Amino acid sequence: MNAIKKLFYINTLMLVVAASSAYAAPVFVVTPSILTDTVNLNGMGVVKYTVTNNTSQTINQITVNPAYQTTGSSLSGTSLQNDSCSNATLASQASCTFQLVFSGAQQTAAVTLSPKICGFNGIFCSVPVLTLRTQVTVVSQASVPNAYFGLSNLGQLQPILTSTNALLPSISGFNFSGGAGIAVSKDGTKVYVANTGLHNMIIYNVTQGTTTTVPLALPLHAAQRERSHTVSALLGGIAVTPDGSKVYITDGSNGIWVYNTSLGQIVANITNPTYLTRPFAIAASPDGAFIYVSSLNIVTTTAGKQQSHRVPAAGYVVAISTATNSITNAVQVGSSGGIAVSPDGSQLYVVGVGPVGHHFRGASSNLLILNTSSLSTVATVSLAGLGATFVAVAPNGNTAYVTDNTQNISVINLATLTHTEIPLTLTPYGIAVTPDGSKAFISSFTGTNIGVLNIGSGAVSYVNVGDSQSTFGSFIG
Amino acid sequence: MITRIVIATALSALSVSCYANKVDLSIMGGGTLSNSSNRSTVQINNVVTNYYKPSSNNTIGSLAGIGVGHTFENIFNRPFNFSIGLSAYYADLDKVRGTEYPFANGGNFDTLDYQFNVKSSSVMLEPRFIYSHCAWQPYLLAGVGIAWNRLDNYQEQPSNPALSAAPAPFYKSNTRSSFAYEAGIGVQHSLFHDQKHNVDYLASLDYRYMNFGAGRLVNFPGMTSNDYLGVPNINLQALMLSLKASF
């Protein structure tokens, strides 16, 4: 009887095989979210895959090899995230998903993604069919930048691919209890993070995936005030010069640290009891000759909770020569927040949030436009929202974007000085525009979403990063 | 050691006979034609059965060997010689190739092409009957022995690289012993006689059929059944040239 059954079974298989010469199908149907992608040598890419069990049987012990390729060079720096496939059991026609994360480093100019999915602990495997193998172009310049967000409670740095808004693997080891000023070098290879909760700066090497901690000694007066819970050690404004040679960090008291990237050490602490009472945001001029510093009348104590400072800031905007690390000019504008320089370096945009000593949150807002050569006021644009925080300028210099505390982005035409407001479903904080001017990324310390403004259409989408973020600065690169 | 004892015993038993006799040393080599195919269905686990469809093409290989024997001349006072010898052979049967249909019991899925090498080493006890009345001496041969069959270097690749099939972990190489036998027909001719050393040198050409029994690959990790991929009948046809020194 068994022999008859076996014979029948074999005959059935032979019929199947004979039929399969005319038709064949994947065991696993592997479908990517995108068919083409571009990543720079220092960046990362993410492709989401859906895997469907195309058999009539339930398949278990599924494994995923993200770096498998049938042709071409092996793909380095690959990993999986949001992976519901590995070790999964899939019923017939059921699906699972995973995200393939890959690094642009060490890749050839063109890479084909072909992850291999196996069932039953590897006894049969499938890859995407040729027409569904994502072609990745690796470019040698930072044309596909990442945005970086400091996750306040998780203490992680969260990179996001600006081209697709995909989350890249986060980096642990941070403490953003005093805010998260972030600056990315122009070539996108280094991310400088004001690690405010631990009073140091962390340098994230994007290419190598490593971090370096630079201790920042607390000024004595700041330490005393921190113990009295009236001021944090760092407000965390941070900027890197365009040539990548120096990094400037506000110490939250009355000083600015200067870090020499070649020497790998702090080389100066710029102080001035008159002009640098509450240094906050920093921006570097396009030629790297100056940095500009605002002073905000708030402090950040714990977990991003803000309160007014007992000793008001003097409210100066200061110009500092990067050649001498000395103050070359200063103008008193009142409490100010974000600061940005026009692409041609001629104008400075400063978010004004009221007079000296004014509480910033409920304050009426304006955008001060200063002449960088003299720091004289060119124009003042009154904004609709209250408690404006940060400003970013489009790469073409035509538009400025200002976040405020009333869930708006003000879009300001810098030629006509008119503005419109784009409502948000989050309270925005920092804002930065991609180098190609197509998107603006917006942080928020009141929710787990970030906002992504499509500059062309004015539409805003949201990406859940899992934690609040008090990120500001030039955090795209 | 056992082999030596067997040879010595056989030769000594024959040498005490009344016939004129000679000891032979041979080297052999030739080409082979084989059509060994593998088992087609392999149950991988209690859910999955793969189908391995072998290609029907004959493969050309090679065979080499050495032998030692003893020849009894003019047995029964007839123009017949009888020799008994022990020969060792190494046969490289080239590759077994075919198409793998993964999960054949679950649907019609994209296939892979597979291949693996089949090699056999054997030792044969070979009697020969030689008609010695003419210069070209025809003979019949037969043999039985043991073969060590090695299946190795299993590889698979997508039949169509544009489709979805991807190689799974491979079967592993394995050597398995099996009963072997052969039969053949040939002709031998004396090349010259070294009178100084009293050695005859002969050449022979024969056709033979050799069957080395079965071989199998070792299952790969993840395969939970006791089923296996193997070749149940390793056989070949050989055209063999031999050089023999008889003294």
Interchain CB distance below 8 Å, A25 and B106:
no
Domain limits, chain B: 2-186+207-246
pLDDT band at residue A314 using 50, 70 and 90 as cut-offs:
low
What pLDDT, in 10s, does the model give residues A332-373?
888 788 999 998 889 999 998 755 444 455 566 889 999 999
Average pLDDT over residues B47-54: 93
Which position has the higher pLDDT, A38 or A392?
A392
CA distance A150 to A179: 8
Contact A304, A179 (CB under 8 A): yes
Sign of torsion over alpha carbons B205, B208, B213, B218: positive
Q: Does the CB of B47 have a partner CB in chain A at under 8 Å?
A: yes
Interchain CB distance below 8 Å, B41 and A68:
no
Indicate whether B122 pLDDT > 50.
Answer: yes
Indicate whether B114 pLDDT > 80.
Answer: yes
Interchain CB distance below 8 Å, B222 and A120:
yes
What pLDDT, in 10s, does the model give residues A380-419?
999 888 888 899 999 888 999 999 888 999 999 999 999 9
Q: Check residue A297 and give its pLDDT.
A: 62
What is the helix (H) or strand (E) element at residue A379, kind and residue range?
strand A377-386
Q: Check residue A7 and give its pLDDT.
A: 44
Q: Which of A207, A170, A176 has its CA nearest to residue A189?
A: A207
Choose the closest CB to B222 out of A12, A71, A122: A122
Question: Could you tell me which chain A residue has the CA closest to the CA of B170?
Answer: A123
Sign of torsion over alpha carbons A162, A167, A168, A173: positive
Average pLDDT over residues B206-233: 92
Question: Could you tell me which chain B residue has the CA closest to the CA of A27?
Answer: B109
Interchain CB distance below 8 Å, B161 and A71:
yes
Distance from CA of A57 to the nearest CA of B (A): 7
Q: Which domains does chain A have, with CATH numbers?
A: 26-139 (2.60.40.10), 146-472 (2.130.10.10)
Q: Which CATH class is domain B2-186+207-246?
A: mainly beta
Instruction: Give this prediction's pTM.
Output: 0.58
pLDDT band at residue A219 using 50, 70 and 90 as cut-offs:
low
Interchain CB distance below 8 Å, A129 and B163:
yes
The burial of A466, by beta-carbon neighbours within 10 Å (0-12 exposed, 13-18 middle, 19 or more buried), is given as: middle
Exposure on the CB side of residue A425, measured as CA atoms within 13 A: 11
Interchain CB distance below 8 Å, B158 and A70:
yes
Q: Check residue A300 and give its pLDDT.
A: 40
Beta strands in chain B (DSSP E): 21-34, 41-43, 49-54, 59-72, 80-101, 112-131, 136-158, 165-166, 174-194, 199-216, 230-246
Considering only residues 219 to 248 of chain A, which have any Cβ-Cβ distance to chain B shorter than 8 Å?
none
